[in-house]
Amino acid sequence: MTQEEALSILKTGESVFLTGEPGSGKSYTVNKYVSYLRGKGIEPAITASTGIAATHIGGMTIHSWTGIGIKNKLTKYDLAALADNKRIVSRIKKNKVLIIDEISMLSSTTFTTIDQVCRFLKKSELPFGGLQVVLVGDFFQLPPIVKKEQQSEQMEIQDLDPDSQDDGTPFAFRSPAWRALDPTVCYLSEQHRQEDSVFLDALSAIRRGVITDEARDCFNNRRVVDAAKLPEKTTKLFPHNANVDLLNDIELNKLSGEKKTFVMLAKGAPPLIESLIRSCLSPENLELKAGAKVMFTKNSPDGKFVNGTTGEVISFSSENGNPVVKIKNGKTIEVSSTEWVIQDGDKTLAAIYQLPLRLAWAITVHKSQGMSLDAAIIDLRNAFEFGQGYVALSRVRDLAGLHLLGFNERALEVHPAVLEQDAHFHSLSHSATIRVRAVDSIKQEAAHKEFIDSFGIDLSNLPSVKPKKESTFEITKRMLLDEKLSLPEIAEKRAMTVGTVISHLEKLVDDKIIKPEKDLTNIRMAPKKIQEIKQALLTIRAREGEMYLSQTREILGPKYTFDEIRLVRLFVV
């Protein structure tokens, strides 16, 4: 299913499970839907299963939104207490659209409880009290962590309800509430991130549960037997916390100089603070020295870094003691404390404050979820969890950045329940695709209008905005940043050469409309190739005062194209 087809279904008011492989455009599609609703004067409830995911989407945790907090099961007394909470009652009653991001991290028991709260407070027996529920995520990510008592509760549900699909596995799709909601499955099939077809095919083989010889060869060819050949200053991923903590401590202690400790601060309700701390990638006590390898744990509002950007502490500010980090593009950033918050509208319910950093000689596979890394050294010899290998391997953007110490068979396996359900999701999405394609545009627009009309909003009071015609450069920018298309894809869609698209990028960079280090991260090229071209460009600039293409290519020879040189030139300051 395409993004536009999924968007058309969302606009009808149907509850939807929006899924797809990494890079298929799940976030882009749901953000388009949110913009569409807001353009109609409708504010959806935007939530996520974890605190860190909630901060990424500008929303709050589903636990906070429903008022259940850290509980996963409510008594009649708990429900009565919620009914007395005017703020929560008002919030749930007034909303008609509920978005839950990272649904894969929400347990079956908690999903059922959320349904129970919505029905109770909306005084409706309809699933989730009649809300349009938009579930976003990919169940091939790591499963939710479920305590033993929750597992027992899930098995009790199965014993009491012979028709229950809950077989003790923790996934939300096993919940009776999922079956009652019966969301339309929109399985996005387009790929906008991964340009390395060999790597993509190997990752897809893991998702299908069929490890081909080609996939196995792909990963075996990235094994590094000689430790001396491992790239320096590259993050290592391990399945176990013990390996990560040990390596980070060893490497930090090797460094001379004074150790500085940065302590996390917090305010708000203790249970919400605990939830934020558990989901925050920065530690409560962050110990640093000059020379420490670090990773940013949050996106920068001004685009200086993103979650997953790596660098090295080179000094500490003499004014405030903040660490100064040099990132891979050579730029230095003085890192100050930032906040992770749980909000209810404009009101902050809880907040923690810490540097958006963690030691990054090593991190766990679990903590790497949601990151995109240019390169990583990955040890999957002791993988123990279904999906652990898939999550770790898919963090790296291309094969050139993948350095494997080894892997066991579990690393190439996904949860059998997810594998079985994924085939069902594909089938349901195929049926939904046929259905939406059979409806002509006039009937689709009528269905969209009917859903908006159900909100009872007077659209005449909304400010009218005359659409502005996009320039050719703005079209390229939109395709690159919003649609996440590669340069060849943009060229094909716009019926122009890749060289012309690059000329648009040069104009956008010159006008400071886009920043290469922030906005051109989906343009991939082998690191060795980039370094060789960059060195040649700098040589010509030192000699001639300008980075001339022809003279640069004379140094490099015919193995590099002018387009490749022009692309790298964008990143050379």
Q: What is the pLDDT of residue 527?
A: 76
- CATH code of domain 3-143+152-191+418-453: 3.40.50.300
The residue ranges of every structural domain in the chain are 3-143+152-191+418-453, 220-412, 472-569
Kindly report the length of the chain.
573
- Pairwise CA distance, residues 336 & 324, whole Å: 9
- Pairwise CA distance, residues 325 & 333, whole Å: 5
Q: Taking the model in full, what pTM does it have?
A: 0.65
Q: What is the pLDDT of residue 52?
A: 53
Q: What is the pLDDT of residue 346?
A: 58
- Pairwise CA distance, residues 37 & 44, whole Å: 7
Helix (H, G, I), strand (E, B) or coil at 465: coil
Terminal-to-terminal C-alpha distance of the chain? 41
Q: What is the pLDDT of residue 27?
A: 81
- Pairwise CA distance, residues 128 & 121, whole Å: 10
* Domain 472-569 architecture: Orthogonal Bundle (1.10)
Q: What is the pLDDT of residue 194?
A: 53
Q: What is the pLDDT of residue 555?
A: 85
The per-residue pLDDT for range 515-573, each reduced to its tens digit, is 877 777 666 677 788 888 888 888 888 887 778 777 888 888 878 887 888 888 888 76
Query: For the chain, which residues score pLDDT lower than 50?
Result: 148-167, 465
DSSP class of 548: -
Q: What is the pLDDT of residue 150?
A: 46
Q: Which amino acid is at 1?
A: M
